[in-house]
């Protein structure tokens, strides 16, 4: 009888756990599922979010439109890059627009963006494969927009500029999400070669030509780069099977790197996002960095955003945005100072955009104040 009672309690608890549902955290300002298969029954799933704020303040959300299956680039003959745009800080959004759409057999995947504040251009990068003629060969492409994401150029293959010829058959890809522009105007981004390590690539002439730095770092799968207040470069890296992030810092523009594990940033081995929120150099009173990821050592759950006031030396415990299944994420700073977050949710079935204030993130301990001389 005792064993029967224990069994019944176990079954009841298990059923209760399976029925547990999660919701976006209270206090989040905007919440809208931007991409899901109910919007297009011909699509198997939408994956790999990228988010950026255009020069005019519009928000651009880009993602893979995976048609025949939810498989990655080397397993799917039909993946397109699609976007939606918002002109009111995420309250309303444009219809889904295809900006990269190759014929069947050729696919594009893993969008990422850099906004050039000097030329007001937006660069959108992706990885390309011709599965019918060169299966398993990755090419690295870019398109650009000069009108805040309304129109996009024809694709440019920049593989010869940022990858060695001997890497032709290597598993290589530009990291999804976003790159940066340094204070000097240089564009920087991350490209991973799973055979040799992560390399920084970029442009010193606003995208007319591209370079890469042949000083690989590891461990580093999908990674993000930021410029620190002192001019150093910091890469925050996914490290598979480690249960935490790794950090790589260069004080000589990528010629050499110092590597350390970051045990405070637990991670299940998943793409994440790190962005500069404010800088004293821009007239703000504090340097602030933001970091978002699935805050878990094992599973892709618990989407969380943290803040650092000491250039990534330490991080807050963070605020949980969504406790349930959460995977890749991308952040941007909106024109009104709020933080936009675009992430994969519920086993890749949804891709919500949410936004929240610095005041909410810090439980009222900090508040966004725009410097008097700053236009945006």
pLDDT at 9 over 60: no
How many other CB atoms are there within 10 angstroms of residue 34's CB atom?
22
In Å, the largest CA–CA distance within the chain is: 78
Per DSSP, 240 falls in state T
Q: Helix and strand tally (H, E) in the chain? A: 3, 25
pLDDT at 24 over 90: yes
pLDDT at 63 over 50: yes
CA distance 329 to 331: 7
pLDDT tens column, 349-359: 999 999 999 99
pLDDT at 4 over 50: no
CA distance 369 to 335: 12
Q: What is the mean pLDDT of the chain?
A: 95
pLDDT at 169 over 70: yes
**What integer pLDDT is reported at residue 21 of this predicted model?**
85
**Structure tokens given for 370:** 């725009």
pLDDT tens column, 84-132: 999 999 999 999 999 999 999 999 999 999 999 999 999 999 999 999 9
pLDDT tens column, 292-310: 999 999 899 999 999 999 9
Residue 147: helix, strand or coil by DSSP? Answer: coil
Structure confidence at residue 136 as a pLDDT band (50, 70, 90): very high
Helical (H) or strand (E) element with 305: strand 301-308
Domain boundaries, the chain: 26-361
218 backbone dihedrals φ, ψ, rounded to 5°? -160, 155
pLDDT tens column, 199-209: 999 999 999 99
- Cα Rg, the chain, nearest whole Å: 21
**What integer pLDDT is reported at residue 372 of this predicted model?**
82
> Cα–chain-centroid distance for residue 97?
20
CATH architecture for the domain at 26-361 = 6 Propeller (2.120)
CA distance 3 to 41: 48
Angle at 345 between CA 343 and CA 346, to 5 degrees: 170
Residue that is written with structure tokens 């224990």 in the block: 6
Q: Which residues contact 304 (CB under 8 A, 6 or more apart)?
A: 292, 293, 294, 295, 318, 319, 320, 321
**Structure tokens given for 261:** 């594990």
Q: Which of 133, 135, 82 is nearest to 109 (CA)?
A: 82
pLDDT at 25 over 60: yes
- Please list the residues that pair with 223 across neighbouring strands: 237
**What integer pLDDT is reported at residue 18 of this predicted model?**
46
**What integer pLDDT is reported at residue 188 of this predicted model?**
99
CB contact burial 268-301 (16+ within 10 A = b; e otherwise): bbbbbbbbbbbbeeeebeebbbbbbbbbbeeebb
Residue that is written with structure tokens 């010869």 in the block: 160
Helical (H) or strand (E) element with 6: helix 2-18
Structure confidence at residue 333 as a pLDDT band (50, 70, 90): very high
**What integer pLDDT is reported at residue 7 of this predicted model?**
44
């Amino acid at each position: 009888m005792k064993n029967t009672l224990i069994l019944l309690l176990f079954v009841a608890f298990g059923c209760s756990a399976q029925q547990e549902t999660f919701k976006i955290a209270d206090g989040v300002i905007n919440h809208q599922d931007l991409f899901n298969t109910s919007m297009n029954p011909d699509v198997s799933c939408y994956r790999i979010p990228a988010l950026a704020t255009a020069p005019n303040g519009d928000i651009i959300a880009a993602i893979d439109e995976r048609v025949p299956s939810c498989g990655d680039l080397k397993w799917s003959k039909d993946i397109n890059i699609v976007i939606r745009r918002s002109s009111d800080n995420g309250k309303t959004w444009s219809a889904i627009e295809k900006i990269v759409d190759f014929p069947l057999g050729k696919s594009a995947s893993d969008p990422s963006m850099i906004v050039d504040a000097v030329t007001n251009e937006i660069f959108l990068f992706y990885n390309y494969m011709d599965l019918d003629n060169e299966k398993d060969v990755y090419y690295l492409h870019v398109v650009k927009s000069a009108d805040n994401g309304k129109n996009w150029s024809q694709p440019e293959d920049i593989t010869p500029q940022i990858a060695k010829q001997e890497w032709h058959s290597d598993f290589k890809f530009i990291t999804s999400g976003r790159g940066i522009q340094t204070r000097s105007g240089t564009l920087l981004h991350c490209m991973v070669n799973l055979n040799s390590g992560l390399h920084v690539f970029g442009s010193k002439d606003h995208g007319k030509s591209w370079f890469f730095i042949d000083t690989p770092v590891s461990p580093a799968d999908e990674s993000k780069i930021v410029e620190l207040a002192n001019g150093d470069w910091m890469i925050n890296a996914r490290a598979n099977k480690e249960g935490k992030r790794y950090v790589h810092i260069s004080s000589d523009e990528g010629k050499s790197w110092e590597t350390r594990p970051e045990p405070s940033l637990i991670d299940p081995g998943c793409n994440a996002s790190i962005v500069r929120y404010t800088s004293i150099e821009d007239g703000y009173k504090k340097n602030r960095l933001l970091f978002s990821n699935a805050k878990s050592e094992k599973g892709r759950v618990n989407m969380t955003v943290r803040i650092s006031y000491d250039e990534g030396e330490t991080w807050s415990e963070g605020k949980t945005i969504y406790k349930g299944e959460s995977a890749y994420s991308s952040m941007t700073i909106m024109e009104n100072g709020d933080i936009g977050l675009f992430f994969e949710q519920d086993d890749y079935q949804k891709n919500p955009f949410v936004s929240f204030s610095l005041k909410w993130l810090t439980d009222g301990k900090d508040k966004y104040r725009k410097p008097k001389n700053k236009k945006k």
